[in-house]
Structure 1
Amino acid sequence: MDRTEDTLYLRIADQLASSIRAGTLARGERIASVRELARQQGVSMSTVVQAYRTLEDARLIEARPRSGYFVAARSVRRPPEPETTPLPAAAQPVAVSSLGVQVTALAQDPNFTSFGAAYPAAELFAQERVRRALSRAAQRHRASLCRYPLGSGTPEFRRAVARQALAMGCQLDPERIVSTTGCQAAISLCLRAVTKPGDVVALESPTSYGFLELLESMHLRALEIPTHPRHGLSVDALSLAFDTQPVKAVLAVPTLSNPLGSSMPLAERRRLAQLVAQRGVPLIEDVLYNPLCEHDEQRRAVRSYDATGHVMLCGSFSKTLAPGLRVGYVDAGGWTAQVQRLRHVYSGSYTEVLEQAMADLLMQPGLESAFRSLRSAVAQRVDEARGLIAESFPKGTRVTDPPGGFLLWVELPAGSDSMALFEACLRERIVFAPGTMFSSTGRYRHCLRLGVVGRWDDAQRRALRRIGELARELRPA
């Protein structure tokens, strides 16, 4: 598909999505066949197929065998989305509580109904495919189990990563890719390469609890940048921050940020790449969630616009393919040599058989199909969860509508206290992530993050409704 067709399919998908969301096309209504729409729009049938596939991934339409395409039966009630939260202009020292550790531990406790996890459950992955890949790697590379590996990672894994990066618009040199034990490890190496204790790091707000833990452990200060729940980090606000604060690095998740699930428009990604180049400030880009995004265009990395080496690309496959293999990577741009040295100091070597297994998985022809299956399975849960929130939570509640992923950010009405709600839910063996976990400023006490990637059954639905009931009971008069 050439670039013109690429734009056309998105335009067609957006037009149909607008009609569906506005109610012009009703739930359950049959829409034009591929052939009919191609004739109406004057485009190829493959362009229409791609548009329909995008709408399927977005849970807006569904294909019925021998019947055609129909508008999907989405939730009747659609809660409004949150708005951007004002933030202090100065950087903050980071002091995270043990709350995140508690939420993570309870998310794995079978005695609790959990919405606290930020990773998919094992049953959502092709477990047999992963097992076979690991078995092949152990058989074919059994000598690696008894030798000490040196270098930046296995050539096969680094080539596989470079190939996958093409889907994000990035041309990476395998020789410059460094393997890590996960995305968090890659980000840690990048921060160590470009900062020293006391430096200011700009990042989204709300942001990943794991990022705040990293900054605290490295004695870095956090400058939280206003972030739109749908469009992501404000490049204008970041530019102003560069004028007023001694920012030494930017840490961002442009695609499906955690916890908001926001995704930056392509024009803003380009502006972000240009801004960090102009100011000479490194951008550490986390692309962990990119394969989960419903739209091909929004999987494009900021790194794809980088012409100066200021964007450091970090990723892994722990949320999309094989969490247990614990394999990640980084291409550190202009700081590659520093990251390579730091990896040797802090991480030592790598596990060759695990990297060979991951390379096998990444090179298999059914990989994109596996990503689509995961996106589809999670999308249905997310959409149903938004409907349950609309039905059960207090009037005035807002919730994000992310273009993929499995996290929902819920903003309760003013005056609500998610910590009080958290404690009330714990008494009923229900757990979620309170909003205060995701900021160094003490903000977001009226917010919470829900992960809908564990078990999904009637017990989960009842628990989600119960969170809403308790939120109504605890709401100030």
Structure 2
Amino acid sequence: MKRYERLAEQISELIRHADLPPGARLPSVRAACRAWDVSPATVFRAYYLLESRGLINARPRSGYFVSRTAEELPPETSSATSQAGIKTVNISDLVFEVLRTVRQVETIPLGSAFMSPALFPMARVGKSCATVNRSTDQATMVDALPPGHEGLRRQISLRYLMAGMTVPIDEIIITSGALEALTLSVQLLTAPGDLIAIEKPTFYAALQAIQRLGLKVVEIPVDPVAGHDLAALQRALEDRPVRACWFMTSFHNPTGVTLDEPKKQALVELLGRHGVPLIEDDVYSELHFAPEPVRPAKFFDRNGLVIHCGSFAKCLAPGYRIGWAASGRFAGELERAKWMTTLSASVPAQRAIADYLQTGGYDRFLHKLRRELAHRQSQMLDAIRRYFPADTVATRADGGYFTWVQLPANIDSIRFFQIALENGISIAPGPIFSADGGYRHQVRLNYGYQWSAQLEKAIATLGALCMDESRCGAMLGGPVQPA
């Protein structure tokens, strides 16, 4: 019996003998690590196993608790889901552990979700901010309440027009970053306990939002080359009461893949036939490496069922936290939802970005940024080829700043994350991108930082860790053994 299975069996015995009665709270992951002298990954695997058996359940932001029906369930009941294909989500502890490492200034942030701040024209955006602050009549500040500053919405509408799309400014709702646009959209379309279709793998912030909202998910596979499995989505729509679909169709995080236009059109038409809205996360749309922009799924929307969410955080001003939703038929409801939650994104930030888009040379900046990211991608992939084992596979995306790395089969990505951290390097392990902790042999690496001798040394160190047989012995696939 493996370590996590032994731990799960110990806890099962406590539950069966009512030492842990229904409703009792289990130790936190950190406390369990101390109590049983195991790694966080071992505790996660044990808790996931107990949850799959129906013995415990996760409560968002509260922890794990013994199920109220635990005494009625046989301990051998084991399945990845409570219903085939339908999953609850609980990944927050592992995600926060990864995010904590990225914030450490001494750590090389290959696991970060952000590009280097040095890439952004913050001085020029700051000049726009100072300009609008001097010229703005304070009495007009309320003009930026929902749906948002009209000048900024007009500039966003113009950018849609440049991409061959007509999106009226009345459909554009300004939000505090894209994540708020995405979260408001899914809140609008669902109620706790509802089922939504998400990608597998998917960005961990989506999983966190879904966990907080108490939703269930059906995961649709995303191949790093072919993209989303539309046949699997069709089966889910036919067999399940799917209320909404949350996808990233361009420069997908973490795989980097982009659906081609025929598949995007097929996706929109499939969802349209079933009357299921698409929440499209398109925060990397401006970071394309080809000369022409990539059209989003929204381009093919004829029924107003696609809510297209974008942001300036990934391509212009990360700290300003300005995003938007082009919300189609849901514009009025989404505007009311914004009124009832955070009311307004930062008014000076909205006005500053509007001014920069109009006068600051945004397209010239983007042209330079895209070339720089494409160059850094080549440097990263070349280093992975030189330093990692020969059977390592890293994706080459057509935009964005991530590569999804398939490690050798004997490397467990959570243990790899732990050992990399001991060497001052942060990476993003595969399990944080899945509702069920899958992708144990994948990691996401960020190439959005200035290539340097230090960064190349970090890649060489990661490769050496994979090549070192003595260390690999502690990184065998399957359950992670204690550090």
Higher mean C-alpha displacement, 87-96 vs 330-339 = 87-96
Q: TM-score, normalised by structure 1?
A: 0.78
Alignment of 1:298-313 (within 5 A): 299-313=294-308
Alignment of 1:369-448 (within 5 A): 369-448=364-443
2:386 partner letter? E
Alignment partner, residue 174 of structure 2:
179
Q: CA deviation at 1:330?
A: 0.7
Alignment partner, residue 95 of structure 2:
100
Higher mean C-alpha displacement, 459-468 vs 288-297 = 288-297
Q: CA deviation at 1:142?
A: 4.8
Alignment partner, residue 357 of structure 1:
352
C-alpha distance in structure 2 between counterparts of 1:187 and 1:459, whole Å: 36
* Aligned residues of 2:379 and 2:451 also touching (Cα < 8 A): no
Q: Does 1:156 align with 2:155?
A: no
Pick closer, same or farther for the CA change 1:230–1:136 going to 2, 3 Å.
farther
C-alpha distance in structure 1 between counterparts of 2:165 and 2:204, whole Å: 28
Deviation string for 1:363-400 (max 9, x for gaps)?
Answer: 23622221111111111111111111111112311110
* Aligned residues of 1:150 and 1:349 also touching (Cα < 8 A): yes
C-alpha distance in structure 1 between counterparts of 2:130 and 2:97, whole Å: 35
Alignment of 1:120-159 (within 5 A): 120-143=115-138, 150-159=145-154
Q: Does 1:217 align with 2:173?
A: no
Instruction: Tell me the SS of whatever aligns to 1:408.
Output: strand
C-alpha distance in structure 1 between counterparts of 2:309 and 2:174, whole Å: 10
Q: TM-score, normalised by structure 2?
A: 0.77
Alignment partner, residue 475 of structure 1:
472
Pick closer, same or farther for the CA change 1:273–1:430 going to 2, 3 Å.
same
Instruction: Tell me the SS of whatever aligns to 1:117.
Output: coil
Q: Does 1:208 align with 2:234?
A: no
C-alpha distance in structure 1 between counterparts of 2:293 and 2:120, whole Å: 23
Pick closer, same or farther for the CA change 1:260–1:167 going to 2, 3 Å.
farther
Alignment partner, residue 66 of structure 1:
none
* Aligned residues of 1:432 and 1:448 also touching (Cα < 8 A): yes
Higher mean C-alpha displacement, 252-261 vs 119-128 = 119-128
Q: CA deviation at 1:295?
A: 2.8
Tell me, which stretches of 5 or more residues in structure 1 are unaligned? Answer: 1-86
C-alpha distance in structure 2 between counterparts of 1:146 and 1:315, whole Å: 23
Instruction: Tell me the SS of whatever aligns to 1:299.
Output: coil
* Among candidates 317, 320, 336, match of residue 315 of structure 2: 320
Pick closer, same or farther for the CA change 1:106–1:167 going to 2, 3 Å.
farther
2:400 partner letter? G
Tell me, which stretches of 5 or more residues in structure 2 are unaligned? Answer: 1-80, 477-483
Alignment partner, residue 246 of structure 1:
241
1:406 partner letter? Y
* Aligned residues of 1:230 and 1:402 also touching (Cα < 8 A): no
Q: CA deviation at 1:424?
A: 0.9
Instruction: Tell me the SS of whatever aligns to 2:391.
Output: coil
C-alpha distance in structure 2 between counterparts of 1:103 and 1:226, whole Å: 23
C-alpha distance in structure 2 between counterparts of 1:333 and 1:435, whole Å: 34
Higher mean C-alpha displacement, 141-150 vs 465-474 = 141-150
Q: CA deviation at 1:236?
A: 2.1
Alignment partner, residue 331 of structure 1:
326
* Aligned residues of 1:145 and 1:353 also touching (Cα < 8 A): no
* Aligned residues of 1:430 and 1:463 also touching (Cα < 8 A): yes
Pick closer, same or farther for the CA change 1:320–1:127 going to 2, 3 Å.
same
Instruction: Tell me the SS of whatever aligns to 1:346.
Output: coil
C-alpha distance in structure 1 between counterparts of 2:163 and 2:348, whole Å: 26
* Aligned residues of 2:278 and 2:307 also touching (Cα < 8 A): yes
Deviation string for 1:394-413 (max 9, x for gaps)?
Answer: 23111101011110110112
C-alpha distance in structure 1 between counterparts of 2:413 and 2:146, whole Å: 47
Deviation string for 1:99-147 (max 9, x for gaps)?
Answer: 2223223223221112011211111111221111111111121526976
* Aligned residues of 1:265 and 1:298 also touching (Cα < 8 A): no
Alignment of 1:250-261 (within 5 A): 250-261=245-256
C-alpha distance in structure 2 between counterparts of 1:293 and 1:166, whole Å: 17
Q: CA deviation at 1:310?
A: 0.7
* Aligned residues of 1:266 and 1:298 also touching (Cα < 8 A): no
Pick closer, same or farther for the CA change 1:311–1:146 going to 2, 3 Å.
closer
Pick closer, same or farther for the CA change 1:210–1:226 going to 2, 3 Å.
same
Q: Does 1:264 align with 2:259?
A: yes
Q: CA deviation at 1:148?
A: 8.2
1:321 partner letter? L
Deviation string for 1:61-86 (max 9, x for gaps)?
Answer: xxxxxxxxxxxxxxxxxxxxxxxxxx
Instruction: Tell me the SS of whatever aligns to 2:217.
Output: strand
Q: CA deviation at 1:296?
A: 5.2
Alignment partner, residue 3 of structure 2:
none
1:278 partner letter? R
* Aligned residues of 2:356 and 2:362 also touching (Cα < 8 A): yes
C-alpha distance in structure 2 between counterparts of 1:206 and 1:266, whole Å: 21
C-alpha distance in structure 2 between counterparts of 1:370 and 1:126, whole Å: 8
Q: Does 1:228 align with 2:217?
A: no
Alignment partner, residue 114 of structure 2:
119
C-alpha distance in structure 2 between counterparts of 1:133 and 1:106, whole Å: 34
C-alpha distance in structure 2 between counterparts of 1:298 and 1:205, whole Å: 25
Instruction: Tell me the SS of whatever aligns to 2:218.
Output: strand
* Aligned residues of 1:266 and 1:297 also touching (Cα < 8 A): no
Alignment of 1:50-69 (within 5 A): none
Higher mean C-alpha displacement, 180-189 vs 235-244 = 235-244
Alignment partner, residue 286 of structure 2:
291
1:198 partner letter? G
1:347 partner letter? T
RMSD across aligned C-alpha pairs, in angstroms? 1.9
* Aligned residues of 1:141 and 1:353 also touching (Cα < 8 A): no
C-alpha distance in structure 2 between counterparts of 1:442 and 1:298, whole Å: 34
* Among candidates 420, 428, 451, match of residue 456 of structure 1: 451
